């Protein structure tokens, strides 16, 4: 990885509830949680299982595939940091494993975006220790 | 069961002009609006013993407001952290405090100044996902609503046009020039499916209302506007998770409101919906039961139902889209003036206005049913 990464955008601020998720990104793993109490799968961020109230979990790497649940193509740069970087597609991806992820769909014009479009991970290596789980349209022949 | 019902009334309203650059602090705007609400009721600050406000990054507090107004004693006060969803919530909470005997006369307020307290958007660039402003969260829901129900761009545009038409009757509104559908479509994209005209104005302003017991309000200067029912920051199955739903208010929260009020959507003579964006108004028509889920678009088509003279006039001052954005508190004041029949003899008056709805969004949901 190039330590002089050209990444321009904001970085995440890992917390005690999602630091293991961000550690996974370093290895290009999109980690999810499986509840040890009832097996329910959820995204990182919430420490308790809403189904059975257990706190114990195991993490696993998701397939990295999903579909667009909804999106918005942002044209107005709401801060200087995004000037010259618009439009971009802020997107809710419904992962094949069930949980949703707020992310960005890249390599796709606003005109091409649609609900239900299959997408796959397109990692952006932001720093040597952290990559961003962006998505792109599922490539032809993949699968 | 609703022990607050009709026990408390709004006896005074006050607000500053809504501007783009007031040149004064949010605290100044807050104390001016509070002073005017107290005077409107025919009272003085010495008659006030309760104060509640909400703030996000505005440096306003019950302590500073009481000090500026010279209120000698506060028996009850609350500074509530958060945004627009608190607007109706602080009013019903104040009504509950009065009904419970914690205090007698309460000023409820909010004030906002974009230059002294920062713009709506974050200066740090927000999240790596590109999410930097609240508008994007609403756009995500709007896009999903379009997919699920066939809601069209023109439906959002009609709301911008109809609400602006109302603003054209309001000399105090910031945006008064009528807009056409062509101008709507040609206004620049902010974040799809929202054009510029789908977004409320960013403004400086303060707005306040004064509550006291209905019994006492009858002896004051203005015709009392009774608080029939309210919900404060309620959540339900359709609003558990912002990534999961296209609704703005949960049907459980709105049903709670109607059950407490003992009246329903058909009894409302008007509605002042939280309209930070056109879509929030459209979705709440469904959420509050004025039409079926997914029928918000067809309901607003042509504008005849939602404009003054229609079956449900909405946002009769021009709302937050066109009058000014003080996070619900301006909408409450407009509802009060309509129920006092202050615009009688002008096209802005809702004929025979007896019941009105005011909402605050997004989830969680606050709302008020008011009665003349």
**Exposure of B270 in the CB half-sphere (CA atoms within 13 A):** 31
- Interface confidence (ipTM) of the complex: 0.94
Does the pLDDT of residue A1 top 60, yes or no?
no
- Choosing among B119, B130, B134, which should be mutated to test the A contact, i.e. which has the most A CBs within 10 A? B130
Which residues of B touch chain A, with CB atoms under 8 Å apart? 121-133, 136, 139-144, 147, 188-194, 241, 243-244, 246
List chain B pLDDT tens, one digit each, 372 residues. 899 999 999 999 999 999 998 999 999 999 999 999 999 999 999 999 999 999 988 889 999 999 999 999 999 999 999 999 999 999 999 999 999 999 999 999 999 997 666 665 555 678 999 999 999 999 999 999 999 999 999 999 999 999 999 999 999 999 999 999 999 999 999 999 999 999 999 899 999 999 999 999 999 999 999 999 999 999 998 887 778 889 999 999 999 999 999 999 999 999 999 999 999 999 999 999 999 999 999 999 999 999 999 999 999 999 999 999 999 999 999 999 999 999 999 999 999 999 999 999 987 999 999 999
Nearest Cβ partner for B124 among A10, A72, A88: A10
Q: Distance from B195 to chain A by nearest Cα, in Å?
A: 10
Catalytic residue among B55, B149, B288, B325: B325
Quote the distance between the C-alpha of residue A13 and its chain's center.
14
Angle (CA) B129 B132 B136, round 5°: 85
Catalytic residue among B149, B274, B288, B343: B274
In the annotation, is B325 catalytic?
yes
A132 to chain B: which residues are within 8 Å by CB? 128
Coil vs helix vs strand at B370: strand
The CA-atom distances, in angstroms, between B286 and each of B161, B190, B300, B323 are 20, 25, 11, 24
Architecture field, domain A63-143:
Beta Barrel (2.40)
Domain locations along chain A: 13-61, 63-143
A92 to chain B: which residues are within 8 Å by CB? 140, 243
pLDDT in tens, A7-57: 888 999 999 999 999 999 999 999 999 999 999 999 999 999 999 999 999
CB B357 within 8 A of CB B288: yes
Does the pLDDT of residue A4 top 60, yes or no?
no
Coil vs helix vs strand at A125: strand
> Residue B140 and residue A75: Cβ atoms within 8 Å?
no
Which homologous superfamily does the CATH classification assign to the domain defined by B8-118+201-371? Thiolase/Chalcone synthase (3.40.47.10)
- Choosing among B120, B123, B128, B246, which should be mutated to test the A contact, i.e. which has the most A CBs within 10 A? B128
Coil vs helix vs strand at A114: coil
Cα(B194)–Cα(B202) distance, integer angstroms: 16
Nearest Cβ partner for B126 among A70, A78, A92: A78
φ, ψ of residue B331 to 5 degrees: the values are: -65, -40
pLDDT in tens, A84-128: 899 999 999 999 999 999 999 999 999 999 999 999 999 999 999
Q: Distance from A142 to chain B by nearest Cα, in Å?
A: 25
- Choosing among A21, A78, A134, which should be mutated to test the B contact, i.e. which has the most B CBs within 10 A? A78
Cα(B327)–Cα(B320) distance, integer angstroms: 8
Cα(B1)–Cα(B53) distance, integer angstroms: 27
φ, ψ of residue B323 to 5 degrees: the values are: -80, -55
CB B270 within 8 A of CB B335: yes
Each as own residue / partner, the long-range contacts of residues A103-109 (CB below 8 Å, 24 or more positions apart, any chain) are A103/A133, A103/A134, A103/A135, A103/B129, A104/A132, A104/A134, A104/A135, A104/B128, A104/B129, A104/B130, A105/A68, A105/A71, A105/A134, A105/A135, A105/A136, A105/A137, A106/A134, A106/A135, A106/A136, A107/A136, A107/A137, A108/A136, A108/A137
Domain locations along chain B: 8-118+201-371
In the annotation, is B149 catalytic?
no
String of DSSP letters for B47-77: G--EEEEEESS----HHHHHHHHT----SEE
């Amino acid at each position: 990885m190039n330590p002089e990464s050209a990444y321009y955008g904001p970085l995440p601020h890992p917390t005690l509830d999602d630091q293991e998720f961000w550690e996974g990104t370093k290895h290009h793993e999109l980690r999810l949680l499986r509840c040890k109490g009832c097996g329910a799968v959820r995204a990182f961020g919430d420490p308790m299982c809403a189904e059975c109230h257990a706190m114990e979990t195991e993490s696993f790497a998701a397939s990295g595939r999903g579909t667009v649940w909804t999106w918005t193509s942002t044209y107005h740069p709401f801060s200087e940091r995004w000037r010259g970087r618009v439009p971009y597609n802020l997107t809710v991806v419904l992962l094949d494993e069930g949980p949703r992820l707020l992310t960005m769909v890249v390599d796709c014009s606003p005109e091409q975006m649609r609900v239900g479009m299959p997408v796959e991970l397109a990692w952006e290596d932001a720093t040597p220790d952290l990559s961003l789980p962006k998505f792109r349209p599922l490539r032809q022949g993949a699968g | 069961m609703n022990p607050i019902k009709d026990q408390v009334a709004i006896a005074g309203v006050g607000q500053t002009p809504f501007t783009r650059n007031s040149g004064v602090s949010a605290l100044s705007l807050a104390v001016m609006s509070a002073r005017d609400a107290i005077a409107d009721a025919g009272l003085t600050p010495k008659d006030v013993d309760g104060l509640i406000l909400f703030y996000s990054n505005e440096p306003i507090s019950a302590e500073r407001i009481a000090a500026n107004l010279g209120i000698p004693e506060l028996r009850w006060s609350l500074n509530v952290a958060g945004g627009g969803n608190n607007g109706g919530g602080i009013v019903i909470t104040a009504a509950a405090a009065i009904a419970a005997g914690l205090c007698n006369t309460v000023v409820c307020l909010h004030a906002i100044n974009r230059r002294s307290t920062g713009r709506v958007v974050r200066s740090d660039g927000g999240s790596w996902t590109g999410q930097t402003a609240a508008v994007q969260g609403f756009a995500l829901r709007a896009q999903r609503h379009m997919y699920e129900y066939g809601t069209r761009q023109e439906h959002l545009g009609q709301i911008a046009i109809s609400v602006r038409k109302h603003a054209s009757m309001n000399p105090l509104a910031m945006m008064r020039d009528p807009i056409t559908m062509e101008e709507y479509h040609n206004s620049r994209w902010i974040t799809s499916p929202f054009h510029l005209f789908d977004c409320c104005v960013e403004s400086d302003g303060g707005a306040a209302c004064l509550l006291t017991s209905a019994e006492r309000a009858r002896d004051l200067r203005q015709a009392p506007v009774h608080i029939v029912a309210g919900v404060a920051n309620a959540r339900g199955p359709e609003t558990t998770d912002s990534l999961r739903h296209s609704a703005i208010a949960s049907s459980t929260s709105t049903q709670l409101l109607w059950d407490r009020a003992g009246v329903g959507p058909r009894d409302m003579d008007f509605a002042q919906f939280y309209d930070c964006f056109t879509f929030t108004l459209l979705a709440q028509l469904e959420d509050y039961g004025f039409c079926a889920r997914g029928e918000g678009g067809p309901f607003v088509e042509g504008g005849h139902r939602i404009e003054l003279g229609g079956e449900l006039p909405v946002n009769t001052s021009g709302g937050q889209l066109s009058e000014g954005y003080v996070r619900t508190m301006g909408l409450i004041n407009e509802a009060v003036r309509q129920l006092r029949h202050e615009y009688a003899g002008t096209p802005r008056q809702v004929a025979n206005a007896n019941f009105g709805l005011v909402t605050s969004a997004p989830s969680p949901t606050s709302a008020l049913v008011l009665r003349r």
